[in-house]
């Protein structure tokens, strides 16, 4: 008996392909097209080849120096954010109640910062950190500390980091809390019978069971922090000087401020490639560690 294949189901998938092509593939091809061309205005373009990519990857050029400076600032910011938010999110999740009315209260409280739009977050902290009318700036200055996030690079960095920690640690905490809630009570009962300490329970039961949600948390927070734009742009505009000009801000300045579409397109493609490569490395390393641990336990 010959089985007849029905290909009509593909028609249900075609709208999805059309949406993806319209929203992702076509804009990407447009960026690729711009990255190999140059223009003097009047919508007239001419072929430039890979010259923009060569300048971009050469630190001795003006474009390359600008790109690598913004890249190191962005990498440093992402590293600081991950170093603070991942352990802090785990600590908050461990401190949250497991049952009773306090669970719903804590979940709502933790979700509130995530509901605030990014531009509103930047505006809130822009006012909050001002030394003249902002509560934070006024208190810090009256403590004898010369704090001015618009004039001091270190103050601007600290303000942006504290703002991001306030805004996004809840996401890590909620993910870790979901991982903790999925652990069966039998594990804790066995630990109590063995007389395991709180640290031993965390190290041998809770942390291994949270590995998968931690992988998601690290990937999400890295991508968000590496592509951060709205909050620091509203807060500092990339200043003072170029102290907080991350890659995303520099890219927008290059594309819209200077209207160098070719350079901006090349930078955006390299920017996207860096994100994909680092996320792939994160995912590969953490999944391999997870697989090795499961093999050892088996």
Give residue 169's pLDDT: 94
Question: Contact at 8 Å (CB) between 249 and 240?
Answer: no
55: left (phi over 0), alpha (psi -120 to 50) or beta: alpha
pLDDT in tens, 127-147: 999 988 889 899 999 998 999
- 177 located within any domain: yes
Question: Is 248 contained in some domain?
Answer: yes
pLDDT of the residue at 1: 53
**CATH number, domain with residue 94:** 1.10.3720.10
Identify the three-state secondary structure at position 93. helix
Number of other residues whose CB lies within 10 A of the CB of residue 125 = 25
Contact (CB, 8 A) for 165 and 87: no
Residue given tokens 């090349």 in the structure block: 266
Identify whether 287 is part of a domain: yes
Q: What is the pLDDT of residue 100?
A: 82
The answer, as to whether pTM is greater than 0.85, is yes
What is the average pLDDT score of the chain?
Answer: 88
What is the total count of domains within the chain?
1
In a domain, 41, yes or no: no
Helical H segments across 22-61, by residue range: 26-35, 51-56
Asked if residue 22 belongs to a domain, the reply is no
Domain around 153: 62-297
pLDDT at 168: 95
With respect to residue 115, please indicate whether it lies within any of the assigned structural domains: yes
The parts of the chain modelled with pLDDT lower than 70 are 1-6, 41, 290, 294, 297-298
pLDDT of residue 4: 64
**How many Cβ atoms from other residues are within 10 Å of residue 206's Cβ?**
20
Q: What is the pLDDT of residue 241?
A: 87
Cβ atoms 64, 54 nearer than 8 A: no
The pLDDT value given to residue 261: 86
Task: Write down the pLDDT at residue 243.
Answer: 92
Q: What is the pLDDT of residue 12?
A: 79
């Amino acid at each position: 008996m010959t089985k007849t294949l029905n290909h009509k189901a593909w028609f249900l998938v075609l709208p999805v392909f059309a949406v993806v092509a319209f929203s992702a593939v076509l804009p990407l091809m447009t960026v690729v097209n711009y990255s190999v061309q140059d223009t003097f205005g009047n919508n007239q373009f001419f072929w430039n080849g890979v010259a923009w990519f060569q300048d971009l990857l050469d630190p001795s050029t003006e474009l390359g120096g600008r790109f690598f400076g913004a890249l190191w600032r962005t990498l440093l910011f992402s590293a600081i954010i991950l170093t603070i938010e991942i352990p802090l999110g785990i600590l908050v999740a461990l401190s949250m109640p497991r049952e009773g009315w306090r669970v719903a209260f804590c979940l709502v409280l933790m979700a509130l910062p995530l509901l605030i739009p990014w531009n509103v977050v930047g505006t809130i902290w822009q006012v909050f950190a001002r030394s003249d009318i902002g509560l934070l700036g006024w208190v810090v200055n009256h403590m004898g500390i010369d704090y001015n996030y618009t004039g001091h690079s270190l103050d601007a960095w600290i303000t942006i980091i504290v703002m991001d920690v306030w805004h996004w640690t809840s996401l890590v905490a909620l993910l870790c809390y979901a991982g903790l809630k999925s652990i069966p009570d039998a594990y804790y009962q066995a630990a109590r019978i063995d007389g395991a300490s709180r640290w031993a329970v965390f190290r041998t039961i809770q942390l291994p069971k949270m590995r998968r949600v931690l992988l998601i948390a690290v990937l999400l927070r890295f991508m968000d922090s590496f592509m951060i734009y709205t909050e620091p742009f509203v807060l500092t505009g990339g200043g003072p000087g170029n102290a907080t000009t991350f890659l995303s801000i520099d890219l927008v300045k290059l594309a819209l401020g200077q209207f160098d579409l070719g350079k901006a397109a090349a930078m955006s493609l390299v920017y996207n490639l860096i994100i994909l490569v680092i996320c792939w490395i994160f995912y590969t390393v953490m999944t391999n560690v997870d697989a090795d641990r499961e093999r050892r336990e088996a």
